[in-house]
Chains A and B, each alone.
Chain A
């Protein structure tokens, strides 16, 4: 069983839609939770970084962590064509430690 499960998609939505991306994990030792965005032929870029359960908002992006259910989500409001990319959930046990990634969900926002 993988430590982190993520639906690979692809997910196709119209411009302006609310997008929900999700991951589940099995290792209860994970304490840090991240969402990365990766454009084609580029490296992953950190979008959101959270430590505790609950919600964290940054502009159109909201990250949600539920440690009791081992479930994390990323919500994108008012999605734009420029949001089209692969979104990777990631987590680590502690600071300065290896990051464990999900497989990534490919998102396409159609104008």
Chain B
């Protein structure tokens, strides 16, 4: 079974440009999460989809970040315009809806560098 995949693995852009990150969750996983780790800090939650609906977007830093999950399958996270402080590793995770709790399976991350 394929795990969570993310594309691209690494992106280098100039300040002010737009970048779109993609996450393909494990097939059948209704829950999809985005997290971010900036240099030297802990991994922090950004938002949570249940199917195509945003369940919790309390971690989104500002309105330059837009997440979508059309059709409840893959998700995209767009940063527009990118700022220097957006540099970091963006992780996507997915989980099944199971009784008793969920295990979040993480992708390898997209390393974003904003110059």
Contacts and interface: CB of A to CB of B under 8 A. Distances in A.
A97 B104 contact: no
A97 B55 CA distance: 9
Contacts, number: 58
Contacts of B101: 32, 49, 51, 95
A26 B114 CA distance: 34
Contact of A101 (B42, B50, B107): B42
Interface string B41-53: 1111100101000
**Chain A interface SS verdict (over half):** loop
Interface residues of B, number: 29
B108 interface: yes
Given A98-B48, A100-B45, A103-B41, 13 more contacts: A32-B101, A36-B106, A43-B107, A43-B109, A44-B106, A45-B106, A88-B42, A88-B43, A95-B102, A96-B95, A99-B33, A101-B44, A102-B42
